Amino acid sequence: MLSPKYRKLQDSLAGLPGIGKKTAGRLAMHIITQKSTNSLDIANAITDAIQSISHCSICNMLSETDPCPVCEDKERDNRLLCVVENTLDVYLFEEIHSFKGRYFVLGHLLSPMHGIGPDEIRFDLLTKYLQDNPVEELVLALSPSVEGETTISFIAEQLEKSSIRISRLSTGLPFGSNIEYANSVTLANAFRNRTNL
């Protein structure tokens, strides 16, 4: 019979994205059977990250500082704002060196079935950002999924009366895929070939 504490660890790991019950079981066993210092280092790193990282009050990106390093960077072009789903997307776009503007992180994509509406994607903070900054182009760099398309349509509709040019990434990104799995060439081409909405 398996230990209740092992089961609790397995269930916690299974709650992570992309981790099934079997993988969670193997990870839990690996963590438990490793030298205690290795496992405790992992636990301490998780605790430290959770306690040290929070949302930037300007762009909503996860960061150890507020404002985040991107918002503090005076070399960035304030006229360009790239809207992404999560902080990982910012890192991916920064790796391809194709965008020199600023970012706004939604945190989620609209999904009424899962109770994710405009408040959950921080649309109020995005609106404030657009009011406070001289944005000329808003690039909607969201995954081409049902939720991504819904979010793109919602933002474009809400901002249709503004003078801001709204564009989206090229559909070189296949529908139903996730930005984080695209390679750098695909991302760079998607940026170069973005289209107006």
153 Cβ neighbours under 8 A, 6+ residues apart: none
Give mean pLDDT, residues 170-183. Answer: 67
Beta strands of the chain (E only): which ranges?
Answer: 54-55, 62-63, 77-84, 101-105, 137-140, 165-168, 195-196
- Residue 97 is predicted with a pLDDT of 86
pLDDT digits (tens, 9 = 90+) for 68-91: 999 999 999 999 999 999 999 999
pLDDT at 171 over 80: no
The span from the CA of 65 to the CA of 197, in Å, is 34
State the pLDDT confidence band at 102, using cuts at 50, 70 and 90: very high
Give mean pLDDT, residues 4-24. Answer: 93
> Please, what are the domains in the chain?
4-52 (1.10.8.420), 56-196 (3.40.1360.10)
pLDDT at 159 over 80: yes
pLDDT at 193 over 90: no
Beta strands 62-63 and 54-55, pairing class: antiparallel
**How many Cα atoms within 13 Å fall on the side-chain side of residue 54?**
8
